[in-house]
Amino acid sequence: MNTKALLDKAMKLRPEERLTLVEGLIQSLDEPDKRLDEIWVEEAEKQLKAYREGKLEGILMEKIFTEG
């Protein structure tokens, strides 16, 4: 079934059924991407290691918030 046919069928639902469908679709878009989370963790650990080894310099929080 193509998207237009699916939409046409959904439009024939009662309002509360359409609401349930829309909420389900929106919720499916909000699900976190586990692989993306893993990539961020790997990057954070790599940068923390570099900082602890003195290979990466930190920036003062005050400097971050005053520049812009």
22 plus 6 within the same structural domain: yes
Global pTM?
A: 0.48
Residue 48: which domain range? Answer: 34-66
At residue 47, the 3 state secondary structure works out as helix
Domain count, the chain: 2
pLDDT of residue 64: 86
Could you give the C-alpha distances from 33 to 16, 20, 65, in angstroms and in order? 29, 23, 30
Query: What's the pLDDT tens digit per position in 21-57?
Result: 999 999 988 878 889 899 999 999 999 999 999 999 9
Q: How confident is the model at residue 7 (pLDDT cuts 50, 70, 90)?
A: very high
Q: How confident is the model at residue 68 (pLDDT cuts 50, 70, 90)?
A: low
2 plus 26 within the same structural domain: yes
2 plus 22 within the same structural domain: yes
27 plus 38 within the same structural domain: no
3 plus 18 within the same structural domain: yes
45 plus 60 within the same structural domain: yes
16 plus 42 within the same structural domain: no
